[in-house]
Chain A
């Protein structure tokens, strides 16, 4: 503890304290310009993260893969003697009648949500681009749906969409439209969760696209309006093309987030009626935790498929981001 030459050398008492402390987490020798010892310090500072990633990311993921290639029942789970069955559960998942439904629902849920979130988010970002009285406050208010706990938003939407007492049916009735069973009818359940999810995703799109708009030089618009370009032309000739890299990243991040969504759907419809609003993520959740009899092996198999899909979009995102940083 006393052997910290560099720090003690300053002879100030504060440095002495630091030197003593430095012994524990940062490795023994505070470095002076010497690269190897800086490396040791770097490793020491990164060590908590590396341990954390191995224990709390890599190991659970490894267990998840292990789950999917064994036949786990709840008893085998506790005793740890599940039988190895290879890719049988994956084959079961692909052969299951729920699989095509879940796949189509995942695609619909994701792409329709993203299309609306992006369009509305972009329209709002352009609207807020020119500052006006209260614009900052109102833009801040738009963050609310994003910050609320999902259980709060999802249960509020459930009540608003309630067949008998929901405000939405009540409004529709005053326009002469009869009662719609938003959450319980096979025709509307998926639409309902998509509507709620669009609402949830607008703030994220607005924030990112708005910050992208801030980077477009104002002189471009000035020049365009001097040349007599209308607002519409300015949007299609300047805003939209210059925003393309930011748009791509927003949409891809949105895809990755939306693929994973469980809470909203589970709270509003539990994926039902039947499998009408079941996505891959919800299916996985239901198999593992949603019924009295947990079936971890198929759930893990579905979950791993989901990881693969997310990673494909993820790598496209990383590629685009890197290319954007280079330019």
Chain B
């Protein structure tokens, strides 16, 4: 490929990316716009005279919601890992009888609409008095990540060389010790990938939060933004500032872990 042709592609790629990311740019732009300029026509295309009043409002009002979301995300990661990593081990390496059926159930589970799950959980939580609790929301959010986690762990762990496991067995290691000392350390990247997605999905969840935690004392950031939009439609700079802050985990994920994101997506492809 000639250098001129490749330069041309880079330029075109930049244009495409700019078009695609325009809404993200616009969110940041609006978040820095003064309230008096919000209704200007035409709007400012660039925040020449930025204001941080929107962000001040975020730190004033949204810190508890951000903390709640962190807690829910963290709890969801733990629960997901605790359930899915051992299950992946059983399916991939211990040749669980009925493993095929279990895999099938997991695939079907991923197809169930969240709104249906939300109603089911609501009906269950009403009786158990778990509505409007952080724990209830952690459990509900984890249902998005657990099937994915099990499938990813199974795919990865099937690739662990059988000789290593045999060597461990000859040294007298049992199933648990093999899992802890060999399989888990080797699966570090899968653990990271599953954790990242479990956190991001819990952090981003709106449906479960808006149904199971509508009147809670501790509401997550997504619900907080939604309430903001409903109450206060003139302060779009504050709403967009909150949205920018709520996007930070996604940005971190992309910068720090793009490799693992790719791993998560291609995991299905490398399977067997």
Contacts and interface: CB of A to CB of B under 8 A. Distances in A.
A15 B177 contact: yes
B207 to A, nearest CB: 6
A175 B258 CA distance: 39
Contacts of B23: 145, 153, 156-157, 160, 199
Question: What 10 A-B pairs have minimum CB-CB distances, sorted nearest first?
Answer: A30-B174, A60-B120, A42-B94, A18-B177, A149-B204, A49-B87, A22-B176, A41-B175, A45-B90, A26-B176
B38 A165 contact: yes
State which size class the interface on B falls in. Answer: 35 or more
Nearest to A17: B177
Contact of B113 (A30, A143, A307): A307
Contacts of B115: 260, 262, 281, 284-285, 288, 303, 306
B63 interface: no
Contact of A49 (B7, B20, B26, B83): B83
B250 A149 contact: yes
B122 interface: yes
A3 interface: no
Main secondary structure of the interface of B (DSSP, over half): helix
B95 interface: yes
Interface string B166-189: 000101111111011100000000
A164 B41 CA distance: 8
B198 interface: no
B222 interface: yes
7 contacts: A22-B177, A45-B90, A53-B106, A67-B119, A151-B204, A288-B119, A288-B211
A103 interface: no
Interface string A16-31: 0011011001110111
Given A149-B222, A303-B113, A314-B111, A289 B20 contact: no
A102 interface: no
Given A138-B13, A159-B240, 4 more contacts: A127-B16, A152-B27, A262-B113, A263-B206
Contacts of A128: 13
Main secondary structure of the interface of A (DSSP, over half): helix
Contacts of A183: none
Given A143-B261, A267-B229, A31 B174 contact: yes
A248 to B, nearest CB: 14
B24 A45 contact: no
B152 interface: no
B9 to A, nearest CB: 4
A289 B118 contact: yes
Contacts of B106: 53
Contacts of B104: 318
Interface of A: 4, 6-7, 9-10, 15, 18-19, 21-22, 25-27, 29-33, 38-39, 41-46, 48-50, 52-53, 56-57, 59-64, 66-67, 77-78, 80, 124, 127-128, 130, 132-135, 138, 140-145, 147-153, 155-160, 164-165, 167, 170, 173-174, 199, 202, 207-208, 211, 215, 256, 259-260, 262-263, 267, 281, 284-285, 288-289, 296, 299-300, 303-304, 306-307, 310-311, 313-314, 318, 325
A21 B107 CA distance: 32
A289 B207 CA distance: 10
Contacts of A124: 16
B70 interface: no
A175 to B, nearest CB: 12
A300 B115 CA distance: 9
A261 to B, nearest CB: 9
Interface string B10-52: 1011101100110110110010000000111111000000000
Pick from B42, B121, B123 the residue with the most CB of A within 10 Å: B123
A259 B113 contact: yes
Interface of B: 1, 6-7, 9-10, 12-14, 16-17, 20-21, 23-24, 26-27, 30, 38-43, 82-84, 86-87, 89-91, 94-97, 102, 104-109, 111-124, 126-127, 139-140, 142-143, 146, 150, 169, 171-177, 179-181, 200, 203-204, 206-207, 210-211, 214, 221-222, 225-226, 229, 236, 239-240, 243, 246-247, 250-251, 253-254, 258, 261-262, 265-266, 269, 272
A18 B174 contact: yes
B250 to A, nearest CB: 4
Contacts of B102: 46, 49-50
A234 to B, nearest CB: 15
A150 B204 contact: yes
B175 A144 contact: no
Pick from B42, B84, B94, B261 the residue with the most CB of A within 10 Å: B94
Contact of B122 (A39, A48, A53, A288): A288
Contact of A307 (B82, B96, B112, B139): B112
A267 B13 contact: no
B64 to A, nearest CB: 17
Given A19-B174, A138-B14, A285-B207, A170 B43 contact: yes
B76 to A, nearest CB: 12
B17 A21 contact: no
Given A30-B175, A130-B9, A144-B24, A149 B247 contact: yes
Nearest to B222: A151
A173 B41 CA distance: 10
Contact of A165 (B43, B139, B272): B43
